[in-house]
Amino acid sequence: MSRHIARKALLIGWDAADWKIIHPLLDAGQMPFLESVINQGVMGNLSTLRPILSPLLWNSIATGKRADKHGILDFFEPDPHIGGIRPVSSTSRKVKAIWNILTQRQFKSHVVGWFAGHPAEPINGVSVSPLFPIPLSSSPENWPLAEGSIHPVGLRNTFEELRIHPAELTGEELLPFIPRAAEIDQSATNTLESLAKTLAECCSIHNAATWILENREWDFLAVFYNAIDHFCHRFMPYYPPAMEGVSELDAKLYKDVIPAAYRFQDMLLGRLLALAGPNATVMIVSDHGFHSDDLRPRSVPHEPAGNTVWHRPIGIVCMKGPGIRQDEQIYGTTLLDIAPTLLTIFGLPIGEDMDGRLMTQAFAEPVQPDLIPSWEDVPGECGMHPADLRVDPAAALAVIEQFAALGYVEAPGEDRTKAAASVMREQEFNLAGVYLDSFRPLQALPLLEKLHRANPDQVRFALELARCYLALQRMDDARNILVARAETEPKPWADWLLGVTYSEQGRHEAAMEHLLRAEKANPRLPDLHLRLGTTYRQMSRLDDARRAYERALELDGNSPAAYLGLATVSLSQRRNREAAEQALTAVGLDHYLPLGHLVLGFALTRLRQLDRARIAFETAISIAPGMLNAHRWLAAIHSQPGGDPVKAAEHREIARELRRQRQARKNAK
């Protein structure tokens, strides 16, 4: 086992926190405690995964594994005991979270409020489930604590007293968020009630976390706050400048809510930092961001988890502590990297079956992590529940109602069989999304074909299947789906994907017809401008391509694909240094972008920086082993003086086999 980098680590989850909102507050001196973490440590973007659904993402953060491995694929799952559905729970997770691994190694490990963390797990420490703060009664005088909310159960009475009920909050406590609250007609809106509920839950979670830090020995504490996400879903249309359709009065009433939510979260952070002490590693992460500018959606799809159109695919990460660089920016981090990094901090090996990697840029000195095949094979008590543990139905209903109120789901009807079938369908759809996001379209294909056959009227299934066909180069199949959609339901997404299909077939004029039609219908889609750029580039209209990619960046300044597009244009124009810088920015925003590393390798090769080019090509094939050109260039680099002739021969043989396979597929068509 390698050495400890730190003796204590505090992991703080801020659901939906976004640098776009944070930076103006930092500049105004309104988030001093977060600023202190940044100044004493590192900060950066945290790339999310798709589907951008919180249950999947927070459990990927806790495990370092994608959802197909950890097993949580939706907000709900079929209830095997009473039929119908139930919220996903700690028994739904098939693999060990970071606190389970630390329990196996006798660390004092605590977890508070983590998504899908009910029932509280019997770890070597205190576990507080996310049902702990949810009011199961309208009265604070008769408010039972949900069964299974606290481990060890002997602390139940203590934690009951730490909760705050929404009814206990007065108007004065809400004024920092809505200074003109007295002007609200409460008979016409539940705005203040919603605000009080989110604030009370946040404070209850914070009370639990601070009690643990004050009263228990600890090596590790993970605490999850969902307040920013809840505030954003309710109040983001009023964030200045208010969205079209918001009345002038409402804009004035609610314009302060989002900034106040961030300032409040920063105030709570100050207390956590004081209790953790200066020698603890502190890591603050969000699972995704939240659109707050021109990309705010003008409508929400009427479908399960339709509200996730608000989610921006870039979250935040910042970290300080022993051995961490100070006042530095880091790049290329994904939420899969959090658990491997925490294991390394505690001197424990990273599981080779984890999908994440160590955040090497964060450390002041080079760190070489130890590896283990899998923590799942390590015997010993880890504090996980048996998979068949029953969940209190009343508590489950409270969670369902909470998600329905946020717009993530529709409240299930009385038909339990229908509800269970609907949830199973969503799980399959989300699993297909996980496969597509991780470059496994062959595994996504049977799921999406089944869903499309069973639900031919569902646009989202058709479009996702078309994307899968595109990834598999089955252009005719993709086109057949999309032509029907474009004719019956003329939407920009169908035209956009048709443009992609024709573009990939080399039918550029037809592609441009559909892409320009989609742009006319909705000019605010960054992905559309990305495809326009690619099509212009395929037509050798490089200046037009550059303008399209730049337009995509105007709409989304953190788009790795836009920077990659610019890099490819620069490479074609022999602007090699620009190409290298743009490709480096692209992979900094999204490390798992194999084409970005490939283009970076090309640019560096032209600049005669062969060692750096070799690393770029090797990174590309570590993500996508079948990249023929990366193997060809590695063979060429290793054939140079000072190279490795054995590796040159290996890559040459792999490239030869990949060419053979490609030709065989071409002949089979």
Please, which pLDDT band fits residue 305 given cuts at 50, 70 and 90?
A: confident
* Mean pLDDT of the 552-559 span: 88
Strands 127-128 and 150-151: antiparallel
| pLDDT at 193 > cutoff 60 | yes
Going by pLDDT thresholds of 50, 70 and 90, the confidence category of residue 522 is confident
Q: How confident is the model at residue 575 (pLDDT cuts 50, 70, 90)?
A: very high
Would you say residue 488 has pLDDT above 80?
no
For 12-39, b/e burial (b = at least 16 CB within 10 A) is bbbbbbbbbbbeebbeeebbebbbbbbe
Tell me if 98 sits within 8 A of 125, measured CB to CB.
no
Q: Is the dihedral of CA 589, 444, 76, 356 positive or negative?
A: negative
CA atoms within 13 A on the CB side of 528: 22
Residue 624 or residue 50, greater confidence: 50
Digit-coded pLDDT (tens) for 239-282: 999 999 999 999 999 999 999 999 999 999 999 999 999 999 99
User: Between 58 and 588, where is the model more confident?
Assistant: 58
- Judged against a pLDDT cut of 80, whether residue 120 lies above it is answered with yes
Average pLDDT over residues 123-132: 96
Q: Both tokens of residue 253? A: 């009433």
User: Could you tell me whether strands 41-47 and 328-329 are parallel, antiparallel, or unpaired per DSSP bridges?
Assistant: parallel
pLDDT for residue 403? 60
Mean pLDDT, rounded, for 563-583? 97
Q: What's the alpha-carbon Rg for the chain, to the nearest Å?
A: 25
Q: Do 119 and 389 contact (CB within 8 A), yes or no?
A: yes
* 614-622 average pLDDT score: 93
Name which of 292, 273, 291, 293 is nearest 283 in CA terms.
Answer: 273
The residue count for the chain: 669
Average the pLDDT over 348-365 and give the result: 96
The token duo for 399 is 């969670």
Residue 639 Cα to chain centre, angstroms: 41
Q: What is the mean pLDDT of residues 187-199?
A: 91
Enumerate helices (H) and strands (E) in the chain, giving the number of each.
27, 16
Q: Which band of pLDDT confidence, cut at 50, 70 and 90, is reported for residue 1?
A: very low
Work out the percent of the chain whose per-residue pLDDT is above 70.
Answer: 95
Q: Which of 345-349, 372-376, 385-389, 582-586 bottoms out in mean pLDDT, i.e. has the lowest? A: 385-389
Tell me which amino acid residue 116 is.
Answer: A
Least confident of 27-36, 449-458, 519-528: 519-528
Give me 92's structure tokens.
């739904």
User: What is the enclosing helix (H) or strand (E) of 102?
Assistant: helix 98-104
Collapse the DSSP code of 305 into the 3-class scheme (helix H, G, I; strand E, B; otherwise coil) and give the result. coil
**Residue-wise pLDDT tens digits, 94-117:** 999 999 999 999 999 999 999 999
Tokens of 349: 């090996």
Where helices occur in 277-372 by DSSP H, the ranges are 338-345
- Please give the DSSP secondary-structure letter assigned to residue 392: -
pLDDT (0 to 100) of residue 556? 86
**Domains of the chain and any CATH numbers:** 9-397 (3.40.720.10), 415-486+535-668 (1.25.40.10)
**Separation between Cα atoms, residue 283 and residue 205, nearest integer Å:** 18
Convert the pLDDT of each residue in 217-229 to its tens digit. 999 999 999 999 9
625/325: higher pLDDT = 325
Average pLDDT, integer, range 188-216: 95
| pLDDT band at residue 405 under the 50/70/90 scheme | low
- Per-residue confidence at 395, pLDDT binned at 50, 70, 90? low
**Mean pLDDT on 28-48:** 97
Q: What is the DSSP letter of 324?
A: B
Pure H helices in 556-592: 560-572, 576-589
134 by Cβ neighbours in 10 Å (0-12 / 13-18 / 19+) ranks as: buried
Tokens describing residue 95:
């693999």
